[in-house]
Amino acid sequence: MNKIVSHAGLRRTIIAAALVAAFASARAQQDAVVERSVGVGAALVSGDSADRSIYGQYNGYRQDRSYGLLDVDYYRRDDDAGRMTSFRGRNLLGETRELGFIWKRQGQWKFRAGYDEIVRYEPYQINSGLLGAGSTAPQVVHLGAGVGTGSTIEPVTRRRALSVAVTHHIREGLQFDASLSSENKDGSRLFGRGFNCPTPLLPGCATTTGISAGWATLMLPEPIDTNHTQLDARLSHASGKLRLSGGYYGSFFENAHGSINPGIPGSLNGPLGNPLPLAAGLQAALAQAVALAPGNEAHQIDIAGNYLFTPTTRGMFKLGYSRALQNQDFPGAGLSGTPPGVSNLGGSLDTTLVQLGVHSRPVARLTLVADLRFEDRDDNTPIRYYNLVGSDIVYTNRNYSRSRLRGKLQGSYQFSSEYRGTIAVGHDALDRGAFTPTSWVRGISALREKTDETTFKAELRRRMTENFSGAVTLSTARRGGSNWSMPNAGPGVTELADISGFAYDAVFMPSLADRKRDKLRLSANWQPTEALSLQFSVDEGRDRYELPTGYGLNGSAMSSYTLDADYALDDDWRLNAYMSFGDQQLQQARAAGTILSFDNRNATLGFGVNGKPSSKLEVGAVLSVMHDRNRYSQGLDTYAGANSAGLLAATGGLPDIAFRLAELRLYAGYKLSANSSLRADMVHHRARFNDWAYGYAGFPYAFSDNTTLSQQNQQQVSFIGVRYIYRWK
């Protein structure tokens, strides 16, 4: 594992180098332009970690009250030689520091190097008795004193990436580009483990009773310690009518952790939250190794380009071949119980891609575009008996070979200088291949080998005047496919020509089902005066799925309405504002259960102003407000029983989930002198979020060891940062 990017010494070295680069005297050269700047300052942030769980998710301002601010810039340009050197450092004292270095002679070569940090703090705080949280051997400890009596765990994930890139113009029309990046990612994120007895998957594990617990759910943070290295190289040629490039992409992913092996106590909560001894078989089941993401790699080579057949006709193509490999050693990852003689998966996926296209303007007013894409994925992963059900059903993993053919034909005609019409037709055919006869599925009612979809699109654009333009676009798509296949009681599936062979409560997947999709888009841009411009857009879309039983996702719909305005008061002041209203709906049904109608409504407002009150002062403000509401409406299916009806009546259904955000951002920049300035930034952030995933009405959701998660419903944060910036040449 490459740890170089995570070494603290390296970070200090990088910061020192940044300062040296900024402060070092430039070698005097005639006609060289040198500019340097350093910005130093401090920031204060109100509230605590819980107040900042949404605001501080990515900006590194989650934990402390005060922060140092340091930015550096170095720029040197030699106009006669055409050389440029620049160095840039941002937020060097924070958790999201960035460094970028460019050295180039434009038209000849370019060298870039960079260092980038991204941090993500999990918005939820965990209260738990867990020992070794974020390790590969966490020890579950039941909180006997009750929920909220454990320690606070705040999972955080950090990415640190080092990259270099080089471009060389070998000669006119021949260029070489290469880049290498290596990113370390470490920390932890939400993860878990759970099991329910009895089950045919574990003969002998006992059910839950009043005196023993036969199931458990646990919160176990996933430990992260990975490296992802990517190499990209491309040679591009351009001469005359031909543009041709050949490239290689390599991706290498390594994970220092192969599995989690939790320690499980002998007692955990029963269904009513009281600690009970675990039922027979459950403790051993929960303690089994949980596989983490395996190391893998992918390689792709391709040739792509285009050729100008005539001044008005261009052909485009891409031929690509890629191979994805995964051969993590199972024992080395702490994973046992493999089929005899098997030490790794031997995973191998080969993908061949052929893409052809033509863009032509046979006559001045007519433009034709045609695209054809064929992708063949060949799964060469060995098929082995990895699976056992009970004591006598064995089956293998599956082969996921598939092929896909997509084509599009589009024509646009410029009727006049104002009107342009476009029609397009596309087709997408996906063949998932035959189901592996020695494999087995559960929890799925129906599969389908082939689907195909045809899309029609029509658009009319009108450029009514220089100040007003608009477009209306209609598209409709119809998807169908081959016969449905029903999983067998044992391995394999059986294709059924007659849908009546399926159970009355079978679920048909939205990714496979016949579908009708319709979309409408209207947009208009109007500039009534030189200073004022308005934009208006409407989007409406609807998906309807044809489900033989009516169970599953029946349909979805979306609509969006936006209005934007931009107004220049004068040369120095500008206003902008927008309103946006959106609605997304899903309708799905469960047999003998609910008909669920999900509705997400969103209203967003924004207002901004920026200007220059004087030659020395520049100010700006942005106000953003969002109201987002998720509504889960439930009705009862025809086959729903009295228990369902009684529960729905008692609860009143699932509560709405509302997210509200209001954020005000202010900035001001004041020029103190020719070389120095001050910059102040202020943010006031308010959020309200009543997601009931981990608690409702004061009733926390408790995992079986009394671990709970929480996120403060109302959050309020103020940030103020001031920088002194000194520039010199």
Partner 1 sequence: MRIKSLLAIGGLCLVALCAAPMANAASDDGSKRCVRCHDDDDLPDWSKSVHAVKADARTPSCIACHGPSPTHIDKPAGVSERPKPDRVFSKHGGLMPAERSEVCLSCHDKDAKRALWASSAHPSADVACTTCHKVHTNHDRALSKTTEAALCFSCHKEQRVQAMKPSRHPIVEGKMSCSSCHNVHGSFGDKLVKRDSTNDTCFSCHAEKRGPFVHQHEPVSDNCANCHNPHGSTIAGMLTARPPMLCQQCHTPHVAGEVGALGGQPGVYSRANPDQGPQIGAGTSGKNVVTMWQGRSCLACHTQVHGSNNPSATNPTPQLMFR
Q: Enter the tokens of residue 203.
A: 């003969």
Closest approach, Cβ 90 to partner 1, in A, equals 9
Closest approach, Cβ 238 to partner 1, in A, equals 4
Residues 6+ apart with CB under 8 A from 305: 242, 243, 244, 245, 316, 317
Q: Which is closer to partner 1, CB of 569 or CB of 645? A: 645
Residues 6+ apart with CB under 8 A from 312: 360, 361, 362
DSSP string for residues in 213-276: B-EEEEE-PEEEEEEEEEEEEEEEEEETTEEEEEEEEEEEEEES--EE--B--SEEE-TTS-EE
x-marked contacts with partner 1 along 249-268 as a string, rule CB under 8 A? x-xxx-x---x---------
Q: Is 45 in the site for partner 1 (CB under 8 A)?
A: no
| 609 within 8 A of 574, measured Cβ to Cβ | yes
Report the C-alpha gap between 130 and 133 in whole angstroms.
6
**Which 375-414 positions form the footprint of partner 1 (CB under 8 A)?**
375, 379, 381, 385-390, 394, 397-398, 400, 410, 412
Q: Is 283 in the site for partner 1 (CB under 8 A)?
A: no
Part in contact with partner 1 (CB under 8 A); list of ranges 43-51, 269-277, 670-678, 720-728: 269-277
Q: Is 553 in the site for partner 1 (CB under 8 A)?
A: yes
Closest approach, Cβ 23 to partner 1, in A, equals 21
Please enumerate, as own/partner, the contacts of 428-433 that have beta carbons within 8 Å and a separation of 24 or more.
Answer: 428/404, 428/452, 428/453, 428/454, 428/455, 429/404, 429/405, 430/402, 430/403, 430/404, 431/402, 431/403, 431/404, 432/400, 432/402, 433/399, 433/400, 433/401, 433/402, 433/403
Bond into 265 cis (ω within 30): no
Closest approach, Cβ 315 to partner 1, in A, equals 10
What distance lies between CA 433 and its chain's CA centroid?
28
Closest approach, Cβ 717 to partner 1, in A, equals 14
The SS3 assignment for 577 reads: strand
Part in contact with partner 1 (CB under 8 A); list of ranges 14-22, 139-147, 642-650, 719-727: 642-650
Closest approach, Cβ 44 to partner 1, in A, equals 18
Encoded amino acid at 543, one letter? D
**Which 515-544 positions form the footprint of partner 1 (CB under 8 A)?**
527, 535, 537, 539
Q: Is 38 in the site for partner 1 (CB under 8 A)?
A: no
Q: Is 641 in the site for partner 1 (CB under 8 A)?
A: yes
Please enumerate, as own/partner, the contacts of 698-702 that have beta carbons within 8 Å and a separation of 24 or more.
Answer: 700/147, 700/148, 702/147, 702/269, 702/273
* CA angle (183, 185, 188) in 5-degree steps: 170
Q: Which is closer to partner 1, CB of 5 or CB of 18? A: 5
Part in contact with partner 1 (CB under 8 A); list of ranges 42-50, 127-135, 139-147, 367-375: 367-375
**DSSP letter at 505?**
T
Q: Is 548 in the site for partner 1 (CB under 8 A)?
A: no
**Which of 63, 135, 338, 610 is in the footprint of partner 1 by CB under 8 A?**
338
Part in contact with partner 1 (CB under 8 A); list of ranges 159-167, 493-501, 609-617, 720-728: 159-167
Q: Which is closer to partner 1, CB of 265 or CB of 433? A: 433
Q: Which is closer to partner 1, CB of 49 or CB of 630? A: 630
Q: Is 23 in the site for partner 1 (CB under 8 A)?
A: no
**Which of 192, 277, 426, 492 is in the footprint of partner 1 by CB under 8 A?**
192
Q: Is 350 in the site for partner 1 (CB under 8 A)?
A: no
**Which of 85, 283, 436, 588 is in the footprint of partner 1 by CB under 8 A?**
588
Pairing of strands 125-128, 151-153: antiparallel
User: Shortest CA distance to 611 belongs to which of 572, 648, 642, 646?
Assistant: 572
Q: Which is closer to partner 1, CB of 4 or CB of 672? A: 4
**Which of 42, 93, 206, 316 is in the footprint of partner 1 by CB under 8 A?**
316
Residues 6+ apart with CB under 8 A from 311: none
User: Shortest CA distance to 232 belongs to which of 184, 323, 170, 301?
Assistant: 301
User: Shortest CA distance to 398 belongs to which of 429, 442, 332?
Assistant: 442
Q: Enter the tokens of residue 514.
A: 């016949």
Closest approach, Cβ 478 to partner 1, in A, equals 19
**Which of 653, 667, 676, 682 is in the footprint of partner 1 by CB under 8 A?**
653
**Which of 19, 26, 32, 293 is in the footprint of partner 1 by CB under 8 A?**
293
Closest approach, Cβ 609 to partner 1, in A, equals 15
Report the C-alpha gap between 119 and 158 in whole angstroms.
4
x-marked contacts with partner 1 along 424-453 as a string, rule CB under 8 A? ----------------x-xxxx--------
Torsion of CA 566, 568, 569, 571, to 10 degrees: 160
Q: Is 96 in the site for partner 1 (CB under 8 A)?
A: yes
H or E element, residue 22: helix 8-23
Q: Is 657 in the site for partner 1 (CB under 8 A)?
A: yes
Q: Enter the tokens of residue 331.
A: 């024992």
Report the C-alpha gap between 273 and 275 in whole angstroms.
6
Q: Is 202 in the site for partner 1 (CB under 8 A)?
A: yes
**Which of 196, 476, 482, 718 is in the footprint of partner 1 by CB under 8 A?**
196
x-marked contacts with partner 1 along 482-511 as a string, rule CB under 8 A? -----------------------xxx-xxx
**Which of 481, 689, 719, 721 is in the footprint of partner 1 by CB under 8 A?**
689
Closest approach, Cβ 380 to partner 1, in A, equals 10
Map 633-685 to HEC letters: EEEECCCCCHHHHHHHHHHCCCCCEEEEEEEEEEEEEEECCCCEEEEEEEEEE
Q: Is 29 in the site for partner 1 (CB under 8 A)?
A: no
Q: Is 146 in the site for partner 1 (CB under 8 A)?
A: no
